[in-house]
């Protein structure tokens, strides 16, 4: 996020800024902690910023939303990657640039059923807002498609104890896939434990598994639903990826939060250029993108907000890990 924001700001300022004035970034770290997010939100609110690009994770966005949405001068908080369904109901000043978990879970269910042709599987889910959201929407859509879920089991922690679940799965030998509704480190643990037991079925997850391709051969063949992939052949995206790699050589390809942050900076620059820096004016102009004013064409695609501050037109892609990179899967 930080790198992409700095890239966008440098580009905009090199072109003369917004209304002849440079954009200045005020950076704060919420350390992926809800209490810290509230502190950061209060600090930014009181600092008089025109808008906030953040937070990264849903838990922190939900914790900070009451700060941004209340008081005498509410301020826009535009998250690049907070996917919890609850984000949609946090207030008029909360927006996001990614699909919700509702879209990711359903996309995985359709991919498994329609593209892989699999009918029976299990779900292991992180017992928090994110994991439960992906689990619920995946299960609803897979059941609608008349698939069979043999078990749906919760876990906790970065390296969860899933041995009993996988022992049961290995013994029955009926499951054709595993969905991990959680994050990268947990999926890596599931992969390790599955391989130990010769459970060689496709393992899939939503955007919480972002970055798992960096795990080497362990993650080979893992499917991940993504709102963004750097390999997408959209001219704006390819231009962004090339600029990112020039500015940050050796850091790897940009991820979804980076791409959406880049879009957020440019989008806010456009909005401020039209509406000025008044917080309410910024909010009202942003809310009208895609209805009152044309949709914004970004590197992540077409951005048009609905009444909840969501982007319902956002695509969900299915990527697959091959040789240390994540590629768009055939049909994904």
Residue 186, domain CATH? 3.40.50.2300
- Evaluate whether 114 touches 325 at the Cβ level (below 8 Å): no
Whether the pLDDT of residue 191 is over 90: the answer is yes
Residues 182 and 276 reside in one and the same domain: no
**How would you class 175 by CB atoms within 10 Å of its CB: exposed for 0-12, middle for 13-18, buried for 19 or more?**
buried
Element holding 125 (H helix, E strand): strand 120-126
- Quote the CA–CA distance of 323 and 76 in Å, as a whole number: 40
- Quote the CA–CA distance of 75 and 41 in Å, as a whole number: 10
Residues 186 and 271 reside in one and the same domain: no
pLDDT tier for residue 125 given thresholds of 50, 70 and 90:
very high
Domain that holds residue 214: 102-226
The pLDDT of residue 130 is 83
The pLDDT of residue 101 is 83
Average pLDDT, the chain: 96
Quick one: which of 275, 271, 242 has its CA closest to 259? Answer: 242
Which tens digits make up the pLDDT trace of 227-277?
Answer: 999 988 899 999 999 999 999 999 989 999 999 999 999 999 999 999 999
The pLDDT of residue 303 is 97
Domain membership of residue 202 (yes or no) is yes
Whether the pLDDT of residue 83 is over 90: the answer is no
Mention every residue, 6+ apart, whose C-beta is less than 8 A from residue 16: none
- Evaluate whether 150 touches 122 at the Cβ level (below 8 Å): yes
Structure tokens at 149: 């879920």
- Quote the CA–CA distance of 282 and 87 in Å, as a whole number: 19
Q: Which of 178, 208, 226 is the last residue before a domain boundary?
A: 226
């Amino acid at each position: 996020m930080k790198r992409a924001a700095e890239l966008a700001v440098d580009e905009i300022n090199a072109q003369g800024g917004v209304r002849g004035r440079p954009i200045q970034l005020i950076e704060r770290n919420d350390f992926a902690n809800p209490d810290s997010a509230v502190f950061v939100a209060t600090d930014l609110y009181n600092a008089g910023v025109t808008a906030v690009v953040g937070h990264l994770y849903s838990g922190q966005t939900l914790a900070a939303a009451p700060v941004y949405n209340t008081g005498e001068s509410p301020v826009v908080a535009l998250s690049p990657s907070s996917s919890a369904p609850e984000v949609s109901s946090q207030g008029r000043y909360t927006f996001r640039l990614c699909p919700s978990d509702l879209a990711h879970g359903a996309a995985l269910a359709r991919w498994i059923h329609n593209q892989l042709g699999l009918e029976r599987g299990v779900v292991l889910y992180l017992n928090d807002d994110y994991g439960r959201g992906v689990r619920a929407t995946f299960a609803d859509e897979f059941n609608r498609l008349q698939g069979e879920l043999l078990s749906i089991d919760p876990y906790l922690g970065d390296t969860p104890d899933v041995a009993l679940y996988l022992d049961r799965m290995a013994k029955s030998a009926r499951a054709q896939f595993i969905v991990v509704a959680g994050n990268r480190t947990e999926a890596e643990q599931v992969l390790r434990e599955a391989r130990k037991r010769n459970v060689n079925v496709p393992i899939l997850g939503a955007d919480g598994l972002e970055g798992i391709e960096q795990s080497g051969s362990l993650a080979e063949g893992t499917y991940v639903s993504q709102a963004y992939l750097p390999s997408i052949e959209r001219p704006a995206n390819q231009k962004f990826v090339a600029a990112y790699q020039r500015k940050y050589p050796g850091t790897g390809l940009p991820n979804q939060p980076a791409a959406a942050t880049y879009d957020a900076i440019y989008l806010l620059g456009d909005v401020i250029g039209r509406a000025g820096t008044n917080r309410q004016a910024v909010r009202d102009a942003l809310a009208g993108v895609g209805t009152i004013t044309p949709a914004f064409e970004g590197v992540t695609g077409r951005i048009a907000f609905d009444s909840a501050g969501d982007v319902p037109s956002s695509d969900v892609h299915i990527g697959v890990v091959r040789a240390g990179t994540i590629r768009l899967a055939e049909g994904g």
